[in-house]
Amino acid sequence: MTDAPAIELRGISKAFGPVQANKDIAMSVARGTIHGIVGENGAGKSTLMSILYGFYKADAGEIFINGKATAIPDSQAAIRAGIGMVHQHFKLVENFTVLENVILGAEDGALLRPSIAKARRLLTELSKEYGLKVDPDAIIEDLSVGHQQRVEILKQLYRHADILILDEPTGVLTPAEADQLFRILERLRAEGKTIILITHKLREIMEITDTVSVMRRGEMTNTVKTADTSPAELAEMMVGRKVLLQVDKTQAQPGEVVLSVRDLRVTHGGVARLKGVSFDIRRGEIFGIAGVAGNGQTELLEVLGGMMAATGGSVSLFGAPLPVTGPDANGQARRAQGIGHVPEDRQTEGLIMAFEAWENVAFGYHRDPKYNSGPLMDNTAIRADCADKMARYDVRPPNPRLPARNFSGGNQQKIVVAREMDRAPDLLLVGQPTRGVDIGAIEFIHKQIIALRDQGKAILLVSVELDEIMGLSDRIAVMFDGQIMGERLPQDTDQNALGLLMAGVTEGAA
């Protein structure tokens, strides 16, 4: 069966209660190719890959691996079939070494010494063969995100994976790290590996894939050769209408200073996370902060949002001191002062996953008079308001009674965005507003951010997506190791210059 595709799916269907996640899907992936899968949030991409990797069992349909019908009831069966998956959120034990993570779950017996010796030898061979250089004795938490991703790929190769599924692999990488990943993927393809790439970034699809499949509302609608399409065509196939791929905005008209941050410092766990950060944001402007995740942006947002106490420095809002320590430095007080906050991690900071959508929409605003009837909360009014927000922000499915965990990641994000942006706060703190969000929703969220700016609101935008930072921001600062490395106007810089600052390289050093 040498000409058989590496993967062939026939009639795959999967439902979760009344929601049909996958409907009669057929897909073929040629061996030794990079095959992209794109689609809106909730289109069924992750469900389909979870079936292929054995996390879910299809209600109907067949899977063929290299021409042979293959049952995949669990992930161990997928691994035996030569399938490996690199998840968007890495599955690594942070205080283990690279070697220990690679052999975890694939030990040869009760005695670890022979397994470690074998893994060390094979890791050296794999690193050379695929250009995946990484220190086998390094502790995971000491590695950059890009190197942690290499460890995940090495884990799969160590388990003899011939088919690799990568879910949003560049979400937290610098441009340079993303380019390195692409070179690794090209090398894997040249060695005969088959790669399935799930991404929302159409530029990456065009740059690295051979073929791309488009999913809409649980169905596979198109499969085309990448060379025969364009980003605009793919976006229209995904959404069903023409999509504006560039941010459309007029020149900013900055007004008075809304937020003033001076010498802000945070030490957490004995480590300095913020090291004297200072900046101002004015009415009617978007101040973007670029940087690789883990360089102090999270702590900055959490201090300003009342989720973490600072250890030094000062913050003022419209010239009045804004507490950064003590009982008044909390999210509830911030909302009362006209500060909205879309946190970076929607699942742990933005939502309570077990609670229903209408309950999540009220969080932080439960004292709003329109949500209350006398001393009691008016649940009917909250549900009605949630239904209205869901309709206007295109949350799917538009069901206020559905628990947050039952929505796709992008629709979870829309719930948070609707809650925080719909009230038009004077200052909006936004962390990773479109992480894991599809192209149509990205366009919508960007328009909401621009609309707030044009209403004279001040916006602090934190994003690892340089396209987003460049497109939305009126001024850009770059953070590295808890400090602001420099400030730029988007029209006077480019992604390469920002990428160097993100890596801690100043112009003098470069």
- Going residue by residue through the chain, which has 510 residues, state the pLDDT in tens, using 9 for 90 and above: 468 999 999 999 999 888 889 999 999 999 999 999 998 777 888 889 999 999 999 999 999 999 999 999 999 999 999 999 988 777 888 888 888 888 887 666 555 666 778 888 888 888 888 777 888 888 988 887 778 888 888 888 888 889 999 988 886 676 777 888 898 899 999 989 999 999 878 888 999 999 999 998 899 999 999 999 999 899 888 877 777 667 889 999 999 999 999 999 999 878 899 999 999 999 999 999 998 877 999 999 999 999 999 999 999 999 999 999 888 888 878 988 999 999 988 888 999 999 999 999 999 888 888 899 888 899 999 999 999 999 999 898 899 999 999 887 778 999 999 999 999 999 999 998 987 677 778 888 999 999 999 999 999 999 988 889 999 999 999 999 999 999 999 999 998 889 889 888 875 544
Residue 224, strand partner residues: 212
Structure tokens belonging to residue 254: 């900055």
Domains, the chain, ranges and CATH?
A: 7-239 (3.40.50.300), 257-502 (3.40.50.300)
Instruction: Give the three-state DSSP class for 72.
Output: coil
Amino acid at 43: A
Question: What pLDDT, on the 0 to 100 scale, is given for residue 245?
Answer: 67
Residues 220, 23: Cα–Cα separation, whole Å? 8
Backbone angles phi, psi at 163, to 5 degrees: -120, 125
**Residue 380, SS3 per DSSP:** helix
Reported as type and span, the H/E element at residue 324 is none
Query: What is the C-alpha separation between 276 and 316, in angstroms, rounded?
Result: 15
CB 32 within 8 A of CB 202: no
Q: What CA–CA distances, in Å, run from 233 to 196, 202, 236? A: 20, 10, 5
pTM of the model: 0.72
